[in-house]
Amino acid sequence: MSSYEEIRPRELKPALLELDGISRASVEAHYKLYEGYVNKRNEILGKLAAADTSSANQIYSEIRGLKVELSFALGGIKNHEVYFEHLGGDGGPATGAMADLIKRDFGSFDAWRADLKATGMAGRGWAWTAYDWDEGRLFNYVGDTQNTYPIWNATPLVALDVYEHAYFLDFQTDRAGYIEKFFDNLDWTVVNDWISKYQIPLK
Ligand SMILES: [Fe+2]
Is the alpha carbon torsion for 61, 63, 68, 73 positive or negative? positive
Global model pTM greater than 0.85: yes
* pLDDT tens track for 108-123: 999 999 999 999 999 9
Nearest CA to 92 among 186, 198, 159? Answer: 186
CA of 133 to the centre of ligand 1 (A): 26
For 65, residues 6+ apart whose C-beta sits below 8 A from its C-beta are: none
The number of C-alpha atoms within 13 Å of 55 and in the hemisphere containing its C-beta is 9
Q: From CA 122, how far away is CA 179, in angstroms rounded?
A: 12
Distance (angstroms) between ligand 1 centre and the Cα of 62 equals 27
Cα 123 to ligand 1 centre (Å): 13
CA of 55 to the centre of ligand 1 (A): 34
Please tell me the distance between residue 167's alpha carbon and the centre of ligand 1 in angstroms: 9
Going from the Cα of 163 to the center of ligand 1, the distance in angstroms, rounded, reads 6
Q: How many angstroms separate the CA atoms of 108 and 30, rounded? A: 32
Ligand 1 centre distance from Cα of residue 141 (Å): 17
| Residue 2: pLDDT band with limits 50, 70, 90 | low
Ion ligand 1: residues, Cβ under 5 Å = 161, 163
The pLDDT tens digits for 118-149 are: 999 999 999 999 999 999 999 999 999 999 99
The whole-number pLDDT of residue 3 equals 74
Mean pLDDT of all residues in the chain? Answer: 97
Q: Are 172 and 161 in contact (CB under 8 A)?
A: no
